[in-house]
A and B are shown apart, each in its own frame.
Chain A
Amino acid sequence: MYMIVVGGGRVGYYLTKALLDEGHEVLVIEKEAAICENICDELGSIALRGDGCEAATLAEAGTGRADMLIAVTGDDEDNLVACQVAKHKFNVPRTIARIRNPQNEALFNKLGIDVAVSSTNIILENIEEEVPTHPLTHLLTLRDKGLEIVEVKIPPESITIGKSVRELSLPEESKLVLIISKMGRPRMPTAQAILQAGDQIIALTTPETEEALRTALRGA
C-alpha cells in the first residue's frame, strides 16, 4: 500500500520505519529541513519537505493515489486539517490522526476522520493496568461497535465474594467472559460460578454501563 505520513517527529519516524519494514511504500511530509535530511539519511529518500496541510504539498506527494494518510504531528489542529484535505480534496480512502487532547476524539470521528488515536489515552490505560488497586481496567475498545473489554478485580473485602454469578445484578448490556483466580486458573463465568477474593473478571460492556458493571461485581 502507499501510505503518507504527515509529521516526521519521533512518532512519525518510528511509524515510518515500521511501515517500511512491513513492505509498504511510505512518504513522510515534514516542515523542518533538518528532520527531512535526517530521515533521508537513515531511511532512504522518502521525506518531502513541506506543509502536509497544504493542498499543493499533498499534490506533489501524489496523495491522489495514496491508500492511507496518517497525520502524527504534535498539534491536533494540524492533524485534523491534513486528514480533512486528504479526504475531501484527494479522496484518500482511509485517514488516521494522532490526537493529544482526548476530548478531541469524538470531534474527529464526527468530522469523518476514520481513526483518531489518542496517545494520552493509551498511556493512561497502560498505567491503569499497572496500578493493582484500580477497580476497572480498560483492556480494549471496539471502536465501531461501541463496546469495550474491561478487567475488574474482586478485592478481599468485597460484599460479592461467595455469591454466584446468577445472584449478581449485572447490567443487561454487559457480559462476563472469563474469571481468572488469584492463582491464575481460568474458569467459565457460568451462572453457578462463585466469586472469590482476588478474582480477575474479564467482561464485555458498553462505556455507559461500565460503572454499573463495576458496582455489580465489587459492591458499591
Chain B
Amino acid sequence: MRVRTMKVIILGCGRVGAQLAALLDGDGHQVTVLDRDSYSFRRLSPNFNGTALLGHGIRQDVLKRAGIEEADVFVAVTEGDNRNVMAAQIAKHIFNVPKVICRIYDPIRQELYQTLGLETICPTTVFAQLLREKVEG
C-alpha cells in the first residue's frame, strides 16, 4: 500500500527525533529536522534524504524557514517539555498545521495540554505501563 507523501517537520534531533526522521524518510515522506545544536545531526543516517536545519524551534522565523506554512505534520520531541509545548502551540495556533504531536515527559502537564487540545504523548506513562506489563506478565 502506498502512503500519501507528507511534509513533516521534526523539532529535536535526539534519539527519538533522528529515528523518527529515518523511518518517515524511508516511507518516502518529505522530512525536515530542526535542532539548535548542529552536533545533534550526527544521529541522522548518511542515507537521510531530508533536510537538517539549525535553529531554535520556538522562533516563528525559524519555523517559517523550515517550511511550517506548507507542513502537514509537526512533531515536537526536544528534551524540554516547555519548549515542545510552546513550539506545538505555535504550529497549531499560528501556522494552523493540520497535525501537531508533542512529547511531554511530565504526566500532569501532558494531561493539561491534552485537555487544551494538543495531541500529546507522555513517554513516562507509556514506559511505566510497559514495564508494569513486563513485571506482572
B59 contacts A81, C-beta separation under 8 Å: no
Given A55-B108, A84-B112, CB of A76 within 8 Å of CB of B86:
yes
Interface size for chain A: under 10, 10 to 19, 20 to 34, or 35 or more residues?
A: 20 to 34
Chain B residues within 8 Å of chain A by Cβ, number: 20
Given A76-B58, A103-B61, CB of A88 within 8 Å of CB of B86:
no
Residue A211 lies at the interface, judged by CB distance under 8 Å to chain B: no
B116 contacts A53, C-beta separation under 8 Å: no
B82 contacts A75, C-beta separation under 8 Å: yes
Given A77-B85, A107-B90, A107-B94, CB of A53 within 8 Å of CB of B109:
yes
B94 contacts A81, C-beta separation under 8 Å: no
Q: Nearest Cβ distance between residue B85 and chain A, in whole angstroms?
A: 6
B106 contacts A54, C-beta separation under 8 Å: yes
Q: Nearest Cβ distance between residue B104 and chain A, in whole angstroms?
A: 10
Q: Which residues of A contact B89 (CB under 8 A)?
A: 80, 107, 111
A77 contacts B86, C-beta separation under 8 Å: yes
Q: Convert A24-62 into 0s and 1s, putting 1 for each residue whose CB lies closer than 8 angstroms to a CB of B.
A: 000000000000000000000000000001111000000
Q: Convert A93-127 into 0s and 1s, putting 1 for each residue whose CB lies closer than 8 angstroms to a CB of B.
A: 00000000101101100110000000000000000
The CA of A75 and the CA of B85, in the complex, are separated in Å by 13
A81 contacts B86, C-beta separation under 8 Å: yes
Q: Which of B58, B82, B83, B93 has the most CB of A within 10 A?
A: B82
Q: Which 7 interchain pairs have the tightest Cβ spacing?
A: A77-B86, A77-B82, A55-B108, A81-B82, A77-B83, A103-B60, A78-B82
